[in-house]
Structure 1
Amino acid sequence: MPERNIDFGKYGARGIKGHEAVARQLDALANFIATPITQRRGLLARLHYLTRTDHARQAARDAGLTVTDRTLKAWLDGKRKPSKKNLQNIETAYRTVRRHNVARYLLARLNRDGRGTRVEFHPLNQSQVPRPRQRPIQYRTLNVRQWNRIIEAWAANNDAALDDAWINDATVDLGSEWGEYEYVTNIGFAA
């Protein structure tokens, strides 16, 4: 089994780590609120999501949103605006709670009762690499059947665990060529 890339991009290759592309795709499937938090509509949508039930409020507190109920009410009523630090805390808490809430659904959707989900690996971009140093890398597909560790690491927002889970649970199944797909331009799911 090849080792991981140490000097990626040394000769001009471009791409992103495979686990980062997977996180982007999972974020797209999670359907986060599209309106930015800096606009009133985006702020209210996130606050309503985080405060609609007692369970949601507790999850928001656990995720780092530690303001009083009086402050939350003032924000919701438009009497006060959160500081930049609090906007960042709201966004972080919202994404954490949303990932936690959506994880079980995504796990069932991607595992599909043991059938798994087809994953498309789009190879890295070698257009800036000198001709003699380019290597032939093809577009590949693979059926990933076990998403448990991948979804768990994504929901916890743990990049190191997501990288490890992605390499050991998915990419290694490409065989001896798995190192060629550590960096990619995109990862796509047929989910």
Structure 2
Amino acid sequence: MPEKNLDFGKFGARGIRGSEAVARKLDELAGGITTPVTARRGLMARLHYLTRSGKSRQAARGAGLTVTERTLKAWLEGKRRPARANLERIDAAYRAVRRQNVARHLLARLNRDGRGTRVEIHPLNQSQVPRPLQRVVEYRSMNVRRWDKIVSAWAAGDHQGLDAAWTADVLPDLGSQWGQYEYVTNVGFAA
């Protein structure tokens, strides 16, 4: 890969991996419950989402929520409150199940029957980098038509797969300097 960033931030540059910015945006597009899991309303909403059908319960178990039916019933009735570790498991299971449920619809919206989605890539922040070491990196905009690998890796929670799909399938379309966009401040798109 050209200009592979092996020691990112050494001279003061700031940013996040482009694939991480894409995952954040996909999470935002997927929507979901905004009330924190620590609030009763947020906890109940997540538990109802995870237990509304047998398929949801099975997906929640697969995502790491492995409590007995008796405990789950006590939580739903408000007789007991989950411990902090279980609250984290409930929230993680909710996010995993939500991603699986939304992925197919989101993929169709992003691909738009082969037309794709316009993506804006905001370059890394070089304000703390000494002037002679700064690169000329500018805002870029492009149309991404192939979202299949990206969305499937995101839905599975596969960060390495998402990074590989983003850097191998999307960034090379930027041209010869695509390695400069491995780290960014933001990636924006709407579907």
**What TM-score, normalized to structure 1?**
0.97
Deviates more, 1:10-19 or 1:82-91: 82-91
5+ residue gaps, structure 2: none
Deviates more, 1:96-105 or 1:129-138: 129-138
- Could you say which residue in structure 2 is the equivalent of 1:120? 120
Say whether the 8 Å CA contact 2:3–2:180 is kept in structure 1.
no
Superposed CA RMSD: 1.0
- Could you say which residue in structure 1 is the equivalent of 2:69? 69
- Could you say which residue in structure 1 is the equivalent of 2:43? 43
Query: Which amino acid in the other structure matches residue 38 of structure 1?
Result: T
Superposed, which structure 2 residues align to 1:66-145 within 5 Å?
66-145=66-145
- What is the deviation of 1:68? 1.6
Say whether the 8 Å CA contact 2:18–2:181 is kept in structure 1.
yes
Query: Which amino acid in the other structure matches residue 130 of structure 2?
Result: P
- What is the deviation of 1:77? 1.0
Identity of aligned residues (%): 70
Q: Secondary structure at the match of 2:164?
A: helix
- What is the deviation of 1:3? 4.2
Return the alpha-carbon distance in structure 2 between the equivalents of residues 67 and 6 of structure 1: 42
- Could you say which residue in structure 2 is the equivalent of 1:52? 52
Return the alpha-carbon distance in structure 2 between the equivalents of residues 71 and 136 of structure 1: 57
The structure 1 segments of at least 4 consecutive aligned residues displaced by more than 4 Å after TM superposition are none
Instruction: Give CA-to-partner distance per residue, 1:96-127, whole Å, 9 cap, x none.
Output: 10000000011000000000001000011111
5+ residue gaps, structure 1: none
Q: Secondary structure at the match of 2:186?
A: strand
**What TM-score, normalized to structure 2?**
0.97
Query: Which amino acid in the other structure matches residue 63 of structure 1?
Result: A
Instruction: Give CA-to-partner distance per residue, 1:29-54, whole Å, 9 cap, x none.
Output: 01131111011001000000000111
